[in-house]
Amino acid sequence: MAECGFFGGLTKRSMGNLKDLQVRKRVFSEIPGLSGKIPRVLSQVHGTKIFEAEKGGEKILEGDGWVCRQEGIIPIVLVADCVPLFIWSRKNPVFGVFHAGWRGMAKSFAYIAATEIQRVFNVKAGELLASAGPHIGSCCCEVGPEIKEFFPSEDFIEDKKGLRLDLNLEAKNQLLRAGLSENSIYLSSECTVCSPGYFSNRQGDSERMAAFITLKEGPLCPK
């Protein structure tokens, strides 16, 4: 991401609860290269609504994703087990960040996110890169049988431990359906439930981490 002219990532537990406005201000003022940029957050509802992040918009909007092309803005989604999904272009200064748990994935949110960034900015799927940051893994994503109706059977692992959902696999398949190539998709294997250092809703944490992406100085990816 950094070599393509973008800077982004996921905060960790040690950085504090990013739901808190004062914590957000402190964290983003302390990260080199982000001081002075405007963090934008959403009132998240596990849906598929996406907004374009622009300067001058301070109202808290209800949705689960951002697309952006402006410097000086840090689009943010808050997560603690849900998938933080990042999409950016290797050729154009356009990017997005999205919050997708199982409810969002059941509504094809990864597919919607990838097609929306193409539509809004008139870019081609072949120039897009995508990454799913740390989230609840198939090792810990236990679900009930009622969830089976929302996903293909290949997304599930069923053994003596019970029924578990693989959000990485579902995200990958949705992104492929949106036209991205397999070698342009990067999926984190870190599980926020069983890996140290992350807030986890499944573990009872009410705090949230921030997934963010923004433009940085420098060229885009080499063509």
User: For 196-222, how does the pLDDT look when each residue is reduced to its tens digit (9 = 90+)?
Assistant: 999 999 999 999 999 999 998 655 655
| pLDDT at residue 1 tops 90 | no
Q: Long-range contacts for 158-165 (Cβ within 8 Å, ≥24 apart)?
A: 164/138, 164/139, 164/140, 165/102, 165/138, 165/141
Domains in the chain: ranges and CATH: 2-215 (3.60.140.10)
Q: What is the mean pLDDT of the chain?
A: 94
- Report residue 106's pLDDT band, with 50, 70 and 90 as the boundaries: very high
- Quote the pLDDT of residue 5: 87
Nearest to 81 by CA among 207, 171, 172: 207
Q: What number is the average pLDDT over the span 80-98?
A: 97
Helix, strand, coil shares of the chain as percentages rounded to 5? 25, 30, 45
For residue 142, count CB atoms less than 10 angstroms from its CB and return exposed for 0-12, middle for 13-18, buried for 19 or more.
middle
- Quote the pLDDT of residue 108: 98
Query: Any idea which residue has 């603690």 for tokens?
Result: 80
- Quote the pLDDT of residue 40: 94
| pLDDT at residue 181 tops 60 | yes
- Quote the pLDDT of residue 55: 80
**Span 164-178, pLDDT tens digits:** 999 999 999 999 999
pTM: predicted TM-score of the whole model, two decimal places: 0.95
- Quote the pLDDT of residue 198: 98
Three-state secondary-structure class, residue 146: helix
Q: What percent of the chain has pLDDT over 70?
A: 95
Contact 97, 211 (CB under 8 A): yes
- Quote the pLDDT of residue 59: 80
**Span 122-154, pLDDT tens digits:** 999 999 999 999 999 999 999 999 999 999 999
Axis crossing angle, helix 109-121 with helix 167-177, rounded to the nearest 10? 30
